Amino acid sequence: MSENEKQKNHKLVIVVGSVREGRFGPVVASWVAEQARVHGGFDVEVVDLGDVEIPLSLPAESPKYAGDSYPRPAGMAPLTSSLEEADAFVLVTPEYNHSYPAALKAAIDWHFTQWTAKPVAFVSYGGAAGGRHAVLHLENVLTELHAVTIRDGLAFPNYFTAWEDGQPLDPQAPGYAKTLLDQLAWWAAALSTAREASPYPA
């Protein structure tokens, strides 16, 4: 790793994956962003899918091959640039019917190269399973996009009793977040160096 690479803060995009009225997602995402700022290894941006125009109907062509000419709606442009500029992602997801929200799937499907050869970590929440079914599905999907998924995630079971005043009650949660962010930072540096050295053969 070069000296420049060591000094550079990579861009972390934290995605709020739920857009439901009365959702809890932004609370979790704010806490993750706070942990990432304390960690210090990233420039942090929170992207809320609730603020983005994400139609379910996709264009005829594939975003994998269309490149910049892919006809995305104007209201999606800020999301696309954030994903494009990101060196690493944290997807914050609840569990809906043993999977993740449709808005998050649509946001993923409108893009392709923006995910490729970049690391993705997961923070989930829900009932007894803490969103783990959602994360298992996301891991499969992100692999198809040539993203690298991070093993150590955070899951918050029964979040409605496990959080107070915007913070998880588990005193170990910040430590788990640090482990996740350390792994994400390692991959962000490694993959950003690799992308600069040569195009990923997707």
Ligand X SMILES: Cc1cc2nc3c(=O)[nH]c(=O)nc-3n(C[C@H](O)[C@H](O)[C@H](O)COP(=O)(O)O)c2cc1C
Instruction: Kindly list the residues in this chain that would bind ligand X in the complex (CB under 6 A).
Output: 18, 20, 23-25, 94-98, 126-127, 129
Phi-psi category of 154—alpha, beta or left, where left has phi over 0 and alpha has psi -120 to 50? beta
Report the nearest approach of ligand X to the CB of residue 48 (Å): 11
- What is the full DSSP assignment across 73-98? -GGGHHHHHHHHH-SEEEEEEE-BTT
Report the nearest approach of ligand X to the CB of residue 25 (Å): 4
- Residue whose CB is less far from ligand X, 102 or 202: 102
Report the nearest approach of ligand X to the CB of residue 201 (Å): 37
- Residue whose CB is less far from ligand X, 96 or 187: 96
* Residue in the block written with tokens 């913070």: 167
Strand partners, 96: 99
- Residue whose CB is less far from ligand X, 14 or 148: 14
- Residue whose CB is less far from ligand X, 70 or 89: 89
54: Cβ contacts below 8 Å, ≥ 6 apart: 76, 79, 103, 106, 107, 110
Report the nearest approach of ligand X to the CB of residue 4 (Å): 39
- Residue whose CB is less far from ligand X, 92 or 180: 92
Backbone angles phi, psi at 118, to 5 degrees: -130, 150
Report the nearest approach of ligand X to the CB of residue 137 (Å): 11
**Residue 163's closest CA among 15, 31, 19?**
31
